[in-house]
Structure 1
């Protein structure tokens, strides 16, 4: 995720985030709790929704002892007397799904999520070392990442994939277009691709708020990446489609409750800014490839000029490839003839 500010266009009803682990009512019957993350993006937002005799949970936080301790403190403290009722997970990334298995078992919760995200989460939990195998290593090497950096990325850059507890063997499937009730409140289930294959979002039209997960956030762009398992995928095309669908479906005056950063008003302006951001990123790639052919690895500093650690490099590399694949599908880029070093490079179409 990269920083992208357009705060003058947005309105923030709460100027300062709550302290980690301290619930704050952000909408009637909705509690916002921040959990800390051990990364540059140092927090994730979890929401508790009034579910009659208890609280429905939206997202679980990452699987580490600190997050477990916060959950235990919440249940025995601020939420005492009202149990957790069910767990909705927006998508399979470890900061959102990490403790879903533990929460489900510890508190007897039914898990609700999309089928694609459930299967992705199962794949990570069952085989977190899969990313280190031959075909995936070759994915990085053929796009120009040197062997040393590739090893570091595979060993350390995907280390966060291990911060997930095994998911329960059964779940309830959520599909975009569904309607569900939580307490006495009606929610429309939306789904969108790009950041994750089938991310779930919840819209409460009668109460004018939108639980948008990581699809639209105030200060950062969601990571939109191509991964080795789907090397020719076009997640950026899916993401741009999702932004258009959200603008068409959700009124601009709706309160957005995101997976990271502060709640805000200004969904349409933010979606427009995200669109423009990706147009600018594509222009950077086209300009570089117009000067000379570039590999994906050579394009990383074009889009991300700062020094990157292995965790950041794995995401940066995959996000550059997302823009490359989008431009290939748009027939604005094409693969150059091999230079003899086995590395694939791009030129203008």
Structure 2
């Protein structure tokens, strides 16, 4: 995604250092937990909640992340009690330490049903993606064996990055109202990046905890997964953005799951929609000359060299654009070659 720093307003231009916190608005603290990925951090927000605090997301399960939390609880958060742990979605950087936090503080876990079940499913059956049906899905879309092996074993990596969840949770759904301290938050649902991802909107303060639905400088990953091979996460993502643009004010202060908080929500939504429109146009042009296997379209969307971890995300995101274009009719299936699927422009 192009740098959006010239179009967005960042009231806090510098994030807190690891092991530190800042008060982003009165009664809401912001800290960051490091990640061992190219996107090297996740934002954590703590909202004052009566005689304690509600935590929004937790960071990944790792020794480094746990050590950071111990440093925070012994330092700037000393004496602070966590009353509730709210997880926005099932990705490890957001839910990874939820079970650890819930047990440590004897605090309930609040999340969506999909988030809870997705995480429990992956944790209970980390090898499920190894089955032949999922292997065949990637191979018939033209992916090589090494990348296919990486994707079909991803459940094992998930298990290492997520602590066991508590056996019960409190479900949040779209339209719920959540009172945290003196604030009223409407529960919103985002889709595309993760199914049934929670966002919290405080209308009185034009404040949005947006999770990973809208980020300041990068486009959130939108991926098709083998368990839902014909899914349309990009269509869902764009529909969520359109709903947000129609219902939330432009001066909303966005507290995102990564990078800097910002104002300029409608501008950023328009940039994200244009970004995906441009990517779709590239794929259509690439398929005009001759039918292409989906995996052969990776260089069309991603020009830099990808490591194995990035390759998995890139392939799944490319397929999200292909599925979206198949749904809209801009692409159609062509005859397969040697068992590998191909698409062509209409």
TM-score tier by shorter-chain length is: over 0.9
Q: How does 1:279-318 map to 2 (within 5 A)?
A: 279-318=277-316
Find out whether 1:53 has 2:44 as its counterpart.
no
Residues 190 and 197 of structure 2 are in contact (CA less than 8 Å); yes or no, is this contact kept in structure 1? yes
Deviation per CA, 1:287-319, whole angstroms, max 9, x where unpaired?
001111111110111101111111111111010
Find out whether 1:348 has 2:336 as its counterpart.
no
1:115 paired residue number: 113
Q: Which residues of structure 2 form unaligned runs of 5+? A: none
Residues 123 and 158 of structure 2 are in contact (CA less than 8 Å); yes or no, is this contact kept in structure 1? no
Aligned-residue offset at 1:15: 1.1
Question: CA RMSD of the aligned region, Å?
Answer: 1.4
1:125 paired residue number: 123
For 1:158 and 1:282, locate their aligned partners in 2 and report how far apart those are by CA, in whole Å: 32
Residues 128 and 155 of structure 2 are in contact (CA less than 8 Å); yes or no, is this contact kept in structure 1? no
Residues 225 and 315 of structure 1 are in contact (CA less than 8 Å); yes or no, is this contact kept in structure 2? yes
Q: How does 1:241-252 map to 2 (within 5 A)?
A: 241-252=239-250
For 2:182 and 2:276, locate their aligned partners in 1 and report how far apart those are by CA, in whole Å: 39
Residues 161 and 324 of structure 1: CA distance in aligned 2, closer, same or farther (over 3 Å) = farther
Aligned-residue offset at 1:206: 1.3
Residues 90 and 96 of structure 1 are in contact (CA less than 8 Å); yes or no, is this contact kept in structure 2? yes
1:14 paired residue number: 12
For 1:28 and 1:254, locate their aligned partners in 2 and report how far apart those are by CA, in whole Å: 16
**In the comparison of the two structures, how many residue pairs are matched?**
346
What SS does the aligned partner of 1:190 have? strand
What SS does the aligned partner of 2:316 have? helix
For 1:256 and 1:146, locate their aligned partners in 2 and report how far apart those are by CA, in whole Å: 40
Aligned-residue offset at 1:51: 0.6
Deviation per CA, 1:211-234, whole angstroms, max 9, x where unpaired?
000000001100011000000000
Which piece of structure 1 moves more, 116-125 or 157-166? 157-166
Moved over 4 A (4+): 155-158
Q: Which residues of structure 1 form unaligned runs of 5+? A: none
Residues 125 and 155 of structure 2 are in contact (CA less than 8 Å); yes or no, is this contact kept in structure 1? no
2:269 paired residue number: 271
1:41 paired residue number: 39
Q: How does 1:42-81 map to 2 (within 5 A)?
A: 42-81=40-79
For 1:342 and 1:193, locate their aligned partners in 2 and report how far apart those are by CA, in whole Å: 32
Residues 158 and 348 of structure 1: CA distance in aligned 2, closer, same or farther (over 3 Å) = farther
Aligned-residue offset at 1:261: 0.6
Find out whether 1:82 has 2:74 as its counterpart.
no
1:26 paired residue number: 24
For 2:149 and 2:256, locate their aligned partners in 1 and report how far apart those are by CA, in whole Å: 34
Residues 156 and 310 of structure 1 are in contact (CA less than 8 Å); yes or no, is this contact kept in structure 2? no
* TM value normalised by structure 1: 0.96
Residues 122 and 155 of structure 2 are in contact (CA less than 8 Å); yes or no, is this contact kept in structure 1? no
Residues 112 and 197 of structure 2 are in contact (CA less than 8 Å); yes or no, is this contact kept in structure 1? yes
Aligned-residue offset at 1:21: 2.4
Aligned-residue offset at 1:157: 9.5
1:180 paired residue number: 178
Residues 113 and 157 of structure 1: CA distance in aligned 2, closer, same or farther (over 3 Å) = closer
Which piece of structure 1 moves more, 141-150 or 316-325? 141-150
For 1:40 and 1:332, locate their aligned partners in 2 and report how far apart those are by CA, in whole Å: 33
Residues 75 and 83 of structure 1 are in contact (CA less than 8 Å); yes or no, is this contact kept in structure 2? no
